[in-house]
Amino acid sequence: YGDPSQKIDYVFKVVLIGDSAVGKSQILARFARNEFSLDSKATIGVEFQTRTLLIQHKSVKAQIWDTAGQERYRAVTSAYYRGAVGAMLVYDITKRQTFDHIPRWLEELRGHADKNIVIILIGNKSDLEDERAVPTEDAKEFAQKEGLFFLETSALEATNVEDAFLTVLTEIFNIVN
Ligand code: GDP
Ligand code: MG
């Protein structure tokens, strides 16, 4: 993905947040490298990956930050949020608790990040429909109330992952242009 020699018009920092094991690292692996692993290890140390893509003929380098096993409440530091122009708030559609924690993550995000940050709520693991514990409507309603974009994704099946990133990056692009 991306030709490293090309000139970069924009760099957008986007942060991934949400409870442990919801699939943040696999969503990032799918987006940045088109990879997926069923036995992904918990992420160690703050890290980010980049992918450069074209939006309206401009090259945009997306710098996507992944939490490093700091998913406990208030453990993510303000350095993680600094400079972020986008955020992906991820829960697991098969684990109700991960959705119930979303308001906390949102509060923490709004406390640390720029007030104009573009936020998308993501219900991941949509391939596990048989184990669904969070109705799509509940999440849609919450997102609408809070002014967030919303999509259900599957990092495993590569469903809507590209769309989720493009939604955020295009909205950021439109704000800065
Ligand atoms: P993180 O702690 O939020 O970074 O979660 P990981 O990306 O490490 O994923 C946790 C577990 O969920 C791993 O076993 C992944 O393989 C699995 N996983 C992640 N995304 C999906 C998905 O879309 N579908 C399914 N079935 N499993 C997933
Ligand atoms: Mg991880």
Å from CA of 2 to ligand 2 middle: 24
Q: Pairing between strand 47-55 and 58-66? A: antiparallel
In this predicted structure, what is the pLDDT of residue 76?
74
Q: Which residues of 111-143 are buried (b: 16+ CB within 10 A; e: fewer)?
A: ebbeeebbbbbbbbbbbeeeeeebeeeebeebb
Report the nearest atom of ligand 1 relative to the CA of 124: 23
Residue 6 is encoded by which pair of tokens? 């090309």
Q: What is the pLDDT of residue 6?
A: 73
Q: Report the distance separating Cα 78 and Cα 81, nearest Å.
A: 5
Return d(Cα 167, Cα 50) in angstroms, integer.
Answer: 17
Per-run averaged pLDDT (10 residues), the chain, 177 residues: 75 96 95 87 71 95 87 74 96 98 95 94 98 98 98 98 98 96
146 ligand 1 Cβ < 6 A: no
Closest residue to atom 19 of ligand 1, CA basis: 23
For ligand 1, say whether the CB of 159 is within 6 Å of any of its atoms: no
Ligand 1 atom nearest 154 alpha carbon: 23
Q: The complex's ipTM?
A: 0.99
Tell me the pTM. Answer: 0.94
Nearest CA to ligand 1 atom 18: 23
In this predicted structure, what is the pLDDT of residue 84? 97
44 Cβ closer than 6 Å to some ligand 1 atom = no
The answer to whether the CB of 40 is under 6 A from ligand 1 is yes
Distance from the alpha carbon of residue 117 to the mean position of ligand 1, in angstroms: 25
d(C-alpha 28, C-alpha 106), whole Å: 20
- Strand-pairing partners, residue 153, are none
